[in-house]
Structure 1
Amino acid sequence: MKAQFEKISYKQSSLHAFTYKNTDFDAPFHFHPEYELTYIIKGKGIRYVGNNIQKFEEGDFVLLGPNLPHCWKNTHEFKGTVKSIVLQWNDDLLGKDWFEKDEFNNIKLLLKKASKGILFNKKYSKKIERKLTKIINKPPLEKLLCFLLLLEELYTLDDIEILTSVGFSANLNLKANYRIDTVFDYVKDNYNKKIKLEEASSLVSMSNEAFCRFFKKSLNKSFFTFINEYKINLASKMLIETNKQVSQIAYDCGYESLPFFYRQFQKFMNCSPLAFRKTYLKADL
């Protein structure tokens, strides 16, 4: 059974810094009391942070606060090894209330924003891989000092995106978190066909009505909104990376009605599928 609460072992270090490499990002939708800074070196798919769902690719650079549910999930289209750099630390990194000191005020403000999740602009994130690699490979004291300077630098960046909505509250307990992860895996494995509410609710042993209330309370969006958001994210990826016709992409993402697909795409992407594809083709010129 997949763990829903992640226990991070620090051994004797204040900062847990490592490179993750695997055939897949296999962690479930999980949470832990530590802050986390994650940089994606290789991999493409969907990133979940609280009630935020977005595509991710190489260069994705995110700072998360304590107990903020999250995971990265590869889409089926991505083939190959995934790789990321991860830094994790607790509130008592330098002792109790360390960021209340004047010299750490900027870091304190940065970490406060991290409670909602921060996505850094890719123009900056492309420059960060070398810095993060150096931090991982340095002796303990140098590692800590370089890390603090990195946090100070991140505070100065104004081109950031706050990931979760204002009303989101990360109040998932272990049982609820297991249910959400089960549903995520179900949608990931069945996005290319019609997903039935009855099947999803039965996976977590709930009635349809109870499941809908639970899902809306957990992610601040309905189950069917989540499904369409997931499918449209995949469709937008296919529009950029393949030459498939729009109708074929709609079918591949499980849409039986092309007009409904167009309405959903307009809803989530604020443009038509063809306009979306043309915009990205122009950007690559």
Structure 2
Amino acid sequence: MLGANLPHCWKNLQGYHAGASSIVIQWRGDIFPDIPAFAGIQKLQQQAQRGLYLAPKHRTAVSEQMKAVVSSENLTQYLRFVELLDFIAEQVTYTPIAGASYTYDFSSRTTSRIEQVQTYVKEHFARKIKLSEVADHLNMSEQSFSRFFSKAMQRPFFVFLNEYRVNMASRLILETDFQMAQIAYQCGYESLPFFYKQFKKFKGYSPLEFRKMYQKI
């Protein structure tokens, strides 16, 4: 679940060739009244600004409710949409994707450059990435790129890179039975202890604790 103006890209993991389909529902954030009954939905919308990963066990139920929304019209559609968001807010287990400090500069030039960086990271995160190569990709010096990225994203490039790698590792932990060493390697970590350190930094749990926690849900 993604909030407004949150940069994103849908991409299969390397080696995954199954087909995919999607249902997209977009809405204005101010369509719900500011009353206690909607407090849970308002909180959900706020948390979605960081992107939300829904636990796999709830996806079928969420998908069916989404289908019910798009197949309805007028007041019925609105009521079913409210029921959908209320279900996610009250019954679905989810975790934020982006870090708590996530902010973004939306000026057009900055957006274009940041999107280039994000695309580069998505295509190369599984291997070692040097600051110099990303700077060259944007035709900038290392110093200028570091200054630009930190100002636009409110964190250094390598913090962003590790956060992205940890998020990709989270998907593999939850959706596969791969060993942690294999996951670390596929996400660009040459050192398993460093992978564990970064994972706990961003998720608050070790990779094994994270997997066990979601296996119980």
Fold-level similarity (TM above 0.5): yes
Does 2:20 correspond to 1:82? yes
Does 2:162 correspond to 1:231? no
Does 2:193 correspond to 1:262? yes
2:25 maps to amino acid:
L
- Using the TM superposition, give the Cα deviation of residue 193 of structure 1 relative to its aligned residue in structure 2, in angstroms: 2.8
- Using the TM superposition, give the Cα deviation of residue 252 of structure 1 relative to its aligned residue in structure 2, in angstroms: 4.6
Q: Which has the larger radius of gyration?
A: 1
Does 2:126 correspond to 1:186? no
Q: Partners in 2 of 1:184 and 1:209 — Cα distance?
A: 19
SS at match of 2:112: helix
Taking a change above 3 Å as real, the CA distance of residues 80 and 239 of structure 1, as seen in their structure-2 partners, is same
Do the aligned partners of 2:150 and 2:156 also contact (CA within 8 Å) in 1?
Answer: yes
Higher normalized helix content (fraction of residues): 2
Do the aligned partners of 2:62 and 2:88 also contact (CA within 8 Å) in 1?
Answer: no
1:81 maps to amino acid:
G
| Partner of residue 176, structure 1 | 110
| Partner of residue 198, structure 1 | 132
**TM score, norm. by length of structure 1:** 0.57
- Using the TM superposition, give the Cα deviation of residue 88 of structure 1 relative to its aligned residue in structure 2, in angstroms: 0.7
Q: Partners in 1 of 2:62 and 2:97 — Cα distance?
A: 20
Q: Partners in 2 of 1:153 and 1:277 — Cα distance?
A: 24
Find the partner of 1:208 among 139, 142, 151.
142
Find the partner of 2:62 among 128, 143, 148.
128
2:138 maps to amino acid:
V
Q: Partners in 2 of 1:124 and 1:219 — Cα distance?
A: 32
Q: Partners in 2 of 1:172 and 1:82 — Cα distance?
A: 30
Per-residue deviation, residues 173-220 of structure 1 (Å, max 9, x unmatched) = 222222122112212222233212112112223221221122223333
C-alpha RMSD of the superposition: 3.8
Per-residue deviation, residues 124-181 of structure 1 (Å, max 9, x unmatched) = 4442211111111123442223223334444545855455555443432222222122
| Partner of residue 119, structure 1 | 52
| Structure 1: tracts of 5 or more residues without a match | 1-61
| Structure 2: tracts of 5 or more residues without a match | none
SS at match of 1:87: coil
**TM score, norm. by length of structure 2:** 0.71
Do the aligned partners of 1:194 and 1:254 also contact (CA within 8 Å) in 2?
Answer: yes
Taking a change above 3 Å as real, the CA distance of residues 111 and 136 of structure 1, as seen in their structure-2 partners, is same
Taking a change above 3 Å as real, the CA distance of residues 106 and 120 of structure 1, as seen in their structure-2 partners, is farther
What pairs with 1:133-152 in structure 2 (closer than 5 Å)?
133-152=67-86
SS at match of 2:22: strand
Q: Partners in 1 of 2:97 and 2:128 — Cα distance?
A: 28
Do the aligned partners of 1:69 and 1:170 also contact (CA within 8 Å) in 2?
Answer: no
